[in-house]
């Protein structure tokens, strides 16, 4: 049984004995003179050296005593200033928080200036502390080799509060730039409308000019704006499809089997497709079109209803003029918003419910578990939340463009009519675009629709947004 330590001297004896009996200590002693003990002469020399060292230390203490007392007093004053500054900064920060609710920009700006001022004071006090020798034993070494680094660090600490203020000013400038941009859009739109009005009276001038810029169209709903938004829908859909396909490849999916499943779901008759067949009409290189067709069919489902059938609202029938104005107001408010930020503030708004519904329709639980190894994102969406992942963020890009297109569709009078090429239908170049490019740029004879990729629209001004289709040979 190990003996317990009874007092401090007992502890010292035990530590000394342990050091003497340690193998390393014994080995070192043997290397020196093959003896574990010092000679009497060495002991006497050590005692004399300790006495001389003690005398020098006492003399140094007598000489430096007043200086140390002064430094201690100086340090106490410095610490008092530090505590006062921290307290002032805390009070300023509390005032800054209070200015947020209720929102008071003037109080917020004043409190922000106060917080920054106290941070500057702290930076100055820290610099005083370092110059007074508060840096400890490392300061001397740094003067020789690393003084430059200390200087750079101090400058950065002093400049940091100013940089924070500059960043805030930059944000304010961006907000002002957006306001100016919106005003310019309205001005350009007014000029464009005036120009079109005068051109309409002149013979031989076409009213439906498609070269109008998006900025000039943003103040009023126009068929041209609807066409431009549909182009954005297609681009975002292609981007999301590419990401999903790459995840499937990484998860070692059988892409051919997945394509066959999509073909079976889109087939309306057995004329051109047998669901029990082991072959596919889509080549491996064109699998992205089948996947894009699946995504488009899911996300456009319910497009003809004012709320995608999320509720039984009939506002578009009861008060159509006001409903059209409201839809276009929502479009203008939302087009420049980041969907992630919007859903972070209002996760259960109409757009948030739309995103949740469409994500759960497109990404099956088994699909998500296979791609990511868990159902974390699925659980978040089912609970009414919106994950901040790269995959979900890419999905929000598609959802936002479709939502904007839907708002525009219900802003126009008359509203665009949606159509989709049916499977096995003849190819009509005035209503369809082939996603697969043929040699010579022309579709050869005998081609029919293998499956639709994205819908088309007929607009009120007579123009047509062509449906995109995947073509196959009739035979």
Q: Is a pLDDT exceeding 80 seen at residue 45?
A: no
Long-range CB pairs of 261-264, under 8 A, 24+ apart, other chains included:
262/290, 262/291, 262/293, 262/294, 263/290, 263/451
pLDDT score at 138: 44
Average pLDDT of span 32-48:
54
Neighbours of 19 (CB within 10 A): 10
Place of tokens 């995109």: 468
pLDDT score at 190: 65
Instruction: Evaluate the omega torsion of the peptide bond into residue 102 and state whether it is cis, within 30 degrees of 0.
Output: yes
What pLDDT digit, counting tens, does each position of 263-295 carry? 777 664 444 444 444 456 776 678 899 999 999
* Least confident residue range of 107-111, 163-167, 306-310: 163-167
What is the percentage of the chain residues whose pLDDT exceeds 70?
69
Q: Is a pLDDT exceeding 80 seen at residue 156?
A: no
Average pLDDT of span 356-382:
94
pLDDT score at 164: 73
* Least confident residue range of 89-98, 350-359, 363-372: 89-98
pLDDT score at 131: 77
d(CA 84, CA 220): 58
Q: Is a pLDDT exceeding 90 seen at residue 400?
A: yes
d(CA 455, CA 420): 5
* Least confident residue range of 55-64, 200-209, 303-312, 387-396: 200-209
pLDDT score at 284: 65
* pTM score: 0.56
pLDDT score at 41: 56
Tokens of 239: 């981007």
pLDDT score at 204: 42
Average pLDDT of span 195-209:
45
Average pLDDT of span 388-405:
96
pLDDT score at 143: 44
Q: Is a pLDDT exceeding 60 seen at residue 339?
A: yes
Average pLDDT of span 392-403:
96
Q: Which of 368, 467, 473, 386 is nearest to 424 (CA)?
A: 473
Contacts with 171 (C-beta within 8 Å, 6 or more apart), sequence order: none
* Least confident residue range of 228-242, 335-349, 397-411: 335-349
What are the domain boundaries of the chain? 221-413
Q: Is a pLDDT exceeding 70 seen at residue 321?
A: yes
Average pLDDT of span 4-17:
53
* Least confident residue range of 35-44, 50-59, 105-114, 447-456: 35-44
Contacts with 30 (C-beta within 8 Å, 6 or more apart), sequence order: 36
Tokens of 431: 């209503």
pLDDT score at 48: 64
User: pLDDT band at 168, cuts 50/70/90?
Assistant: confident
pLDDT score at 18: 58
pLDDT score at 215: 44
- 269 versus 195: the higher-pLDDT residue is 195
Average pLDDT of span 309-333:
90
d(CA 129, CA 138): 14
What pLDDT digit, counting tens, does each position of 78-126 carry? 888 888 888 888 888 888 888 877 778 788 888 888 888 888 888 888 8
- 241 versus 80: the higher-pLDDT residue is 241
pLDDT score at 39: 55
């Amino acid at each position: 049984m190990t003996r317990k330590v009874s007092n401090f001297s007992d502890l010292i004896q035990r530590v000394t004995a342990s050091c003497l009996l340690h193998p390393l200590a014994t080995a070192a002693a043997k290397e020196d003179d093959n003896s574990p003990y010092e000679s009497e002469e060495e002991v006497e020399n050590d005692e004399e050296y300790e006495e001389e060292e003690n005398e020098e230390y006492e003399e140094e203490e007598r000489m430096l005593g007043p200086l140390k007392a002064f430094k201690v007093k100086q340090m106490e004053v410095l610490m008092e200033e530090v505590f006062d500054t921290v307290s002032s900064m805390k009070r300023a920060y509390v005032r800054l928080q209070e200015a947020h609710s209720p929102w008071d920009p003037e109080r917020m700006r004043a409190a922000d200036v106060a917080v920054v001022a106290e941070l500057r004071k702290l930076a100055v006090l820290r610099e005083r502390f370092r110059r007074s020798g508060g840096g400890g034993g490392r300061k001397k070494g740094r003067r020789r080799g690393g003084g430059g680094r200390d200087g750079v660090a101090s400058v950065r600490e002093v400049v940091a509060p100013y940089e924070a203020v500059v960043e805030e000013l930059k944000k304010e400038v961006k907000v002002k730039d957006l306001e100016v941009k919106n005003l310019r859009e309205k001005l350009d739109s007014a000029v464009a409308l005036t120009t079109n009005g005068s051109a309409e009276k002149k013979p031989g001038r076409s009213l439906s000019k498609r070269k109008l810029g998006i900025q000039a169209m943003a103040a009023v709903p126009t068929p041209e704006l609807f066409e431009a938004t549909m182009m954005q829908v297609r681009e975002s859909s292609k981007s999301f499809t590419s990401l999903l396909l790459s995840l499937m490849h990484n998860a070692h999916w059988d892409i051919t089997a997945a394509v066959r499943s999509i073909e079976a779901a889109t087939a309306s008759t057995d004329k051109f497709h047998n669901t029990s067949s082991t072959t596919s009409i889509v080549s491996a290189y064109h699998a992205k079109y089948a996947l894009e067709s699946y995504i488009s069919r899911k996300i456009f489902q319910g497009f003809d209803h004012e709320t995608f059938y999320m509720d039984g609202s009939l506002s578009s029938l009861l008060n159509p003029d006001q409903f059209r104005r409201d839809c276009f107001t929502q479009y203008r408010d939302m087009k420049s918003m980041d969907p992630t930020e919007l859903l972070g503030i209002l996760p259960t708004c109409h757009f948030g419910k739309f995103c949740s519904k469409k994500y759960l329709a497109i990404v099956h639980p088994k699909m998500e578990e296979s791609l990511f190894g868990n159902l974390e994102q699925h659980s978040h969406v089912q609970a009414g939340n919106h994950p901040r992942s790269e995959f979900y963020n890419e999905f929000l890009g598609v959802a936002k463009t479709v939502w904007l297109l839907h708002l525009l569709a219900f802003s126009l009078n008359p509203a665009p009519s949606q159509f989709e090429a049916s499977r096995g239908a003849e190819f009509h170049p005035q209503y369809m675009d082939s996603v697969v490019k043929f040699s010579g740029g022309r579709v050869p004879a005998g081609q029919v629709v293998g499956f639709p990729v994205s819908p088309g629209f007929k607009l009120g001004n007579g123009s047509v947004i062509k449906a995109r289709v995947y073509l196959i040979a009739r035979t």
